[in-house]
Amino acid sequence: MGLENNSQKLLSKIATNNKHGENSPYFDGWKAYESNPFHPTKNPQGVIQMGLAENQLCFDLIEEWIKNNPKASICTPEGVNQFRHIANFQDYHGLPEFKNAVANLMSKVRGGRVRFDPDRLLMSGGATGANELIMFCLADPGDAFLVPSPYYPAFVRDLCWRTGLQLIPVQCHSSNNFMITREALEEAHKKAQEENINVKGLIITNPSNPLGTTIEKETLKSIVSFINENNIHLVCDEIYSGTVYDTPKFVSVSEIIQEMEDIKKDLVHIVYSLSKDMGLPGFRVGLVYSYNDEVVNCGRKMSSFGLVSSQTQYFLAAMLSDDKFMDKFLVESSRRLRARREFFTKGLEKVNITCLPSNAGLFFWMNLRSLLKEKTFEGEMKLWRLIINEVKLNVSPGSAFECSEPGWYRVCFANMDEETVEIALMRIRAFVNGREKGVKKVEMKRWKSNLRLSFSSRRFEENVMSPHSPIPHSPLVRAT
- Please give the mean pLDDT across all residues of the chain: 87
- For position 439, what pLDDT does the model report? 55
Superfamily name and number for 22-59+327-432 = Aspartate Aminotransferase, domain 1 (3.90.1150.10)
CATH 3.60.21.10 matches 70-322: no
Quick: pLDDT tens for 245-258.
999 999 999 999 99
- For position 194, what pLDDT does the model report? 95
Asked whether the predicted pLDDT for residue 427 surpasses 80, the reply is: yes
Among residues of the chain, what percentage have pLDDT more than 70? 88
Cβ within 8 Å of residue 23, ≥6 positions away: none
CA end-to-end span of the chain:
29
Q: How confident is the model at residue 264 (pLDDT cuts 50, 70, 90)?
A: very high
Euclidean distance between CA atoms 322 and 326, whole angstroms: 6
- For position 133, what pLDDT does the model report? 94
Q: Is 289 left (phi over 0), alpha (psi -120 to 50) or beta?
A: beta
Quick: pLDDT tens for 203-212.
999 999 999 9
77-96 mean pLDDT:
78
CB-based burial, 458-479: b 16+ in 10 Å, e otherwise = eebeeebbeeebeeeebebbeb
Work out the burial of residue 53: count CB atoms within 10 Å of its CB; fewer than 13 is exposed, 13-18 middle, 19 or more buried.
buried
Q: Which residue has the higher pLDDT, 478 or 152?
A: 152
**CB atoms near residue 57 (< 10 Å):** 22
Asked whether the predicted pLDDT for residue 450 surpasses 70, the reply is: no
Asked whether the predicted pLDDT for residue 470 surpasses 80, the reply is: no
Quick: pLDDT tens for 283-314.
899 999 999 999 999 999 888 888 888 888 98
- For position 415, what pLDDT does the model report? 92
Q: Where are the domains of the chain?
A: 22-59+327-432, 70-322
Element (H, E) at 124: strand 121-125
Total length of the chain? 480
Cβ within 8 Å of residue 272, ≥6 positions away: 102, 106, 127, 130, 238, 239, 241, 286, 287, 288, 289
Asked whether the predicted pLDDT for residue 162 surpasses 60, the reply is: yes
Asked whether the predicted pLDDT for residue 442 surpasses 60, the reply is: no
Cα dist from 302 to 110, 287, 307, 478, whole Å: 28, 12, 9, 41
Quick: pLDDT tens for 382-412.
999 999 999 999 999 999 999 999 999 999 9
* Active site residue ranges: 152, 237, 239, 276
Quick: pLDDT tens for 335-358.
999 999 999 999 999 999 999 999
Q: How confident is the model at residue 458 (pLDDT cuts 50, 70, 90)?
A: very low
- For position 21, what pLDDT does the model report? 67
